[in-house]
Amino acid sequence: MSKKKFVVTPTSILKKCGFPVSEHHFLLENKALILKLKYILEELNEEGILIQRESKQDFKGVKEIGYDFIT
């Protein structure tokens, strides 16, 4: 069975944790939380745990940087 590839973005993290990210107003009301997650992902990228994707991910009109796990 093949593994499904998971793109790591602030929105995908929130979605996996059960937050209602499909509601656009949720994203707008929680910009501080999303910025904190972006900072953490940037730190993990610098530490070599994640690798930044070349293209940006688009979710509900919000462009964000996606990351992959380094295996």
**Calpha distance 25→41 (Å, rounded):** 23
pTM exceeds 0.95, yes or no: no
What pLDDT, in 10s, does the model give residues 57-68? 666 666 788 888
20 or 70: whose pLDDT is higher?
Answer: 20
List all residues 6 or more positions away from 41 whose beta carbon is below 8 Å from its beta carbon.
Answer: 8, 9, 10, 50, 65, 67
